[in-house]
Amino acid sequence: MPDSLAARGSLFAGKVFQHENWSRLLIVDALHFREKLTETHAHTGVVFPDSEYEGRLARVREKMRDEGLDGLLVTDHSNLFYLTGYYTFGSGNHACLVIPLEGELTLQICSLEIPAAVVNTRVKDLAVSNWQLQYSGQFDAGRQLAQIVHDKGMENERLGVEAARRGLLASVYQSLHDHLKNATLVDASTLVDELTYIKSPLELDCMRQAGKYTVAGIEGSYAAARPGILDNDIARAGYDAMIAAGSEFMSVQPIVTSGPRTSFLHQTYRRVEIEENDIVFLEYGGCHHRYTTPLMRTIVTGRPTDHMLRIADTAETTLSTIIEALKPGRTFHEVVMDAKKTLMEVESEVHFFGSYGYGIGIGFPPTWGGSLHMTEGSQRVLEPGMTFHLPICLPVPGKFNVAISESVVISRDGCELLCNHPRQLFYA
Question: Got the DSSP string for 365-396?
Answer: TTEEEEEEE--TT--PBP-TTBEEEEEEEEEE
State the pairing for strand pair 255-258/279-288. antiparallel
Q: What pTM value is reported for the model?
A: 0.91
DSSP code of residue 335: H
Q: Do 101 and 29 belong together in one domain?
A: yes
Query: Is 113 within the bounds of a domain?
Result: yes
**Which of 169, 196, 223 lies at the terminal end of a domain, its last residue?**
196
Distance of CA 395 to the CA centre of its chain: 25
For residue 295, give its domain range.
Answer: 201-427
Using CA atoms, how far residue 137 sits from 23, 141, 146, 306, in Å, is 17, 10, 17, 58
Residue 250 domain-assigned (yes or no): yes
Residue 2's pLDDT is 30
Based on the domain organization, do 97 and 135 belong to the same domain? Answer: yes
* Helices within 89-200 (DSSP H only): 114-120, 141-151, 170-179, 191-196
Q: Any idea what DSSP says for residue 237?
A: H
Distance, CA of 19 to CA of 5 (rounded, Å): 8
Quote the pLDDT of residue 29.
77
Query: Which residue type is seen at 135?
Result: Y
Q: What is the dihedral of CA 344, 346, 348, 350, to 10 degrees?
A: -120
- State the Cα–Cα distance between residues 266 and 306, nearest whole angstrom: 26
Residues 196 and 164: beta-carbon distance below 8 Å = no
Q: How many domains does the chain have?
A: 2
Answer whether residue 1 is part of any domain.
no
Residue 187's DSSP bridge partners are 161
Say if CB 119 and CB 43 are below 8 A apart: yes
Residue finishing a domain among 180, 196, 212: 196
In a domain, residue 255? The reply is yes
Instruction: Strands of 44-166 (E only): list them.
Output: 71-74, 96-100, 106-110, 125-129, 158-161
Residues 217 and 335 in one domain: yes
Q: What is the pLDDT of residue 129?
A: 81
Clarify whether residues 258 and 145 are in a common domain.
no
Q: For the chain, how many residues are written?
A: 428
Amino acid in the structure at residue 110: C
Sites in the chain below the pLDDT cut of 50: 1-24
**Same domain for 230 and 191:** no
Query: Is 294 inside a domain boundary?
Result: yes
Can you tell me the distance from the alpha carbon of 293 to that of 91, in angstroms, rounded to the nearest whole number? 20
Give 128: exposed, middle or buried? Use CB within 10 Å, 0-12, 13-18, 19+: buried
Distances (CA, A) of 325 to 296, 319, 340, 390: 20, 10, 12, 12
Q: Is residue 213 part of a domain?
A: yes
74 domain-assigned:
yes
Phi and psi based region of residue 68 (left: phi greater than 0; alpha: psi -120 to 50; beta: remaining): left
Q: CATH number of the domain at 152, please.
A: 3.40.350.10
CB 294 within 8 A of CB 387: no
Residues 113 and 186 in one domain: yes
Element (H, E) at 8: strand 6-8
Residues 232 and 374 in one domain: yes
Last residue of a domain, one of 196, 215, 239: 196
- Exposed, middle or buried by CB within 10 Å (0-12, 13-18, 19+), for 412? exposed
* Residues 111 and 247 placed together within one structural domain of the fold: no
Residue type, 325: A
The CATH number of residue 381's host domain is 3.90.230.10
Would you say residue 223 lies in a domain?
Answer: yes
Same domain, residue pair 229 and 167: no
List all residues 6 or more positions away from 276 whose beta carbon is below 8 Å from its beta carbon: 227, 301, 302
- CB-based burial label for 1 (10 Å; 0-12, 13-18, 19+): exposed
CA–CA gap between residue 312 and residue 400 (Å, rounded):
11
Answer yes or no: do 287 and 414 share one domain: yes
Q: According to the model, what pLDDT value does residue 305 have?
A: 96
| Same domain as 65, residue 129 | yes
Do residues 163 and 145 both lie within one domain?
yes
Q: Any idea what the Cα angle at residue 58 is, between residues 55 and 62, rounded to 5°? A: 140
